[in-house]
Amino acid sequence: MRNLFALLAGGLFGAGLMISGMTDTAKVQGWLDVFGDWDPTLAFVMGGAILPMTLAWTLTRRRAAPALGGAFPPPPEPKLGHNLVLGSVLFGMGWGLAGLCPGPAIAALSYGGPGLYIFVAAMLLGMRAAPRLRSRLDRALQAE
């Protein structure tokens, strides 16, 4: 049952990414390119997505547990930390370079062509290397 609803949630996510235009790298880069022909679409997508999510978070406060049991996610960690900032900067650079982030990269698998497979393969490699890099960074910063 959990897997069925995960499939449904993923389907909604993938469909939304496709019809919103977020799998079109030109639209994403067009939004980031404030000095070019600026494309505001991404702001509409973000706004549209945040609306139901705000409602969902409000509902979690009125319910004891998720519909299929278990527990709701704990409140967000208040600490920011160097990993959050450095990671977000690196991610933003890659996002700007190719106009792709992880969600749309998966949503476009069926129509993105060979270029997309190269991006996804490199992304998986990066994700695999990240834990080692994180512990090195933490050790280096602690030593200071």
6 or 139, CB closer to another protein?
Answer: 6
CB of 139 to another protein, least distance (A): 14
Please give the Cα distance from 44 to 130 (Å, whole number): 32
Please give the Cα distance from 112 to 23 (Å, whole number): 9
Residue 92 binds another protein, judged by CB under 8 A: yes
Q: Are 104 and 17 in contact (CB under 8 A)?
A: yes
Footprint (CB under 8 A) of another protein, residues 106-135: 106-113, 115-116, 118-131, 133-134
Please give the Cα distance from 62 to 40 (Å, whole number): 35
131 or 142, CB closer to another protein?
Answer: 131
Interface residue with another protein, options 64, 80, 140, 143 (CB under 8 A):
80
Footprint (CB under 8 A) of another protein, residues 8-67: 8-27, 29, 32-36, 39-42, 44-57, 59-60, 63, 65-67
CB of 144 to another protein, least distance (A): 18
Please give the Cα distance from 30 to 86 (Å, whole number): 24
Please give the Cα distance from 144 to 132 (Å, whole number): 19
3-state DSSP percent of the chain in helix, strand and coil, to 5: 70, 0, 30
Interface residue with another protein, options 64, 73, 142, 144 (CB under 8 A):
73
- Residue 9 DSSP one-character state: H
CB of 9 to another protein, least distance (A): 4
Residue 141 binds another protein, judged by CB under 8 A: no
